[in-house]
A = this chain, B = another copy of it.
């Protein structure tokens, strides 16, 4: 399907229809084919889109005609206010990182890797193969395809020390993306009204899933070297929490990777409190300078609920992730997942398994490191050359972004708006704080498609900050 030319013809015809009287006949397929330099198939597709919208109707053998427009009566929707009542959660809708922006803008806001960081040929080949198997027309098991579950378990088993019984396929639940895993874990293993310890700042998607599940967040400070285990212990003691959500490897947004000592100490705190560690290993395949060391590989007694996603490393269209959890908690989460959406498309699972079991997948992973490193360097070099007042306290050893502190008193949203007016899209840091932000931050991704324009974007940021954007009027230069 040629999306672009179909879309172009649809847009042109929609404009034509807007001024045409009801019953007017559309130009013939032949005329449209000639006018738009498109194939008859593309023209047909465009007409079908318009027919599906109810704008035109085709009379076989006669032609296609503009449909009579209906009387536009304004809908009375006020009654819904009473039915819906006030919002109870704090679901604030889309994150700034999820915005779709003009292709002309330099996107430093998105957390999704650009095409050249994805194994595109592998993905397409795997999808083509999967399309030909039974997985294209059959229902997958609730917990996922057995071989994919084995692969996820094997990834942890590979790095487990000799004295830890590694997880097996039975401990794995395949998910349609790791966000679904967060929602299910927070609902099933924490529960509405109960406390969940989190780092601050932490991933906004986890804050959102927690709000949806109605759990109460208990933030502990965290930074470039991770949280203080004593803070975590105190949070458990004070609130009776039985779960701690964290990103020990290339945390979003701080980039922290926990040291071996910190991993051991946190695991010890979690064990002593009879609690779960929800380990979100989101950037497992996005290492740059170090290797990921999942805590889950060291866990023998079911304290770690491990989340790993392929969405960002294989393809955002292959929404496949998995959680690994042992014991009753796995059963409780699986029951929640089954109630939520029954099963994950077997086609996506088969394609994901195909990709990650190809030898070329390892080659791709090796190639991603220098590609991410080059992007990180380009962004950091640009920032230090042009935006000296922006402080990047920590160079992340993996992941897709840097966490940069604005001058004290600056308003990140004002900075975002000032940058956006000049074609550079950044994400204000406030979304990553479960409570009031402790400082003004931006999260700047280096995974977008515009690496050649990182320098120019940093220049814009520097100029915006130099002009005092985001600062109170009195503090501007």
Q: Taking beta carbons and an 8 Å cutoff, which residues of A are in contact with B? A: 1, 3, 45, 48-49, 51-54, 70-73, 75-77, 79-85, 87-88, 91-94, 98, 100, 112, 115, 118, 120, 123-124, 127-142, 147, 150-151, 153-155, 157-158, 160, 162-166, 169, 176-177, 179-180, 183, 187, 189, 191-192, 205, 208-209, 211-212, 214, 242-243, 274-276, 300-302, 315-319, 326-329, 331-332, 334-336, 338-348, 350, 354, 357
Contacts and interface: CB of A to CB of B under 8 A. Distances in A.
A102 B120 CA distance: 38
Given A53-B157, A340-B179, A163 B317 contact: no
Contacts of A177: 341-342
Contact of A192 (B94, B157, B214, B274): B214
A82 B274 contact: yes
A94 B127 CA distance: 29
B357 A45 contact: yes
Contact of A88 (B53, B124, B191): B191
Given A76-B300, A192-B192, A317-B346, 20 more contacts: A1-B133, A45-B357, A48-B357, A52-B155, A53-B154, A77-B301, A84-B329, A91-B332, A93-B338, A127-B347, A128-B128, A128-B131, A137-B316, A176-B341, A179-B340, A209-B340, A212-B336, A316-B346, A318-B345, A345-B348
A131 to B, nearest CB: 4
Contact of A52 (B75, B151, B318): B151
A275 B83 contact: yes
B340 A212 contact: yes
A123 B130 CA distance: 12
A274 B342 contact: no
A1 B354 contact: yes
A315 to B, nearest CB: 5
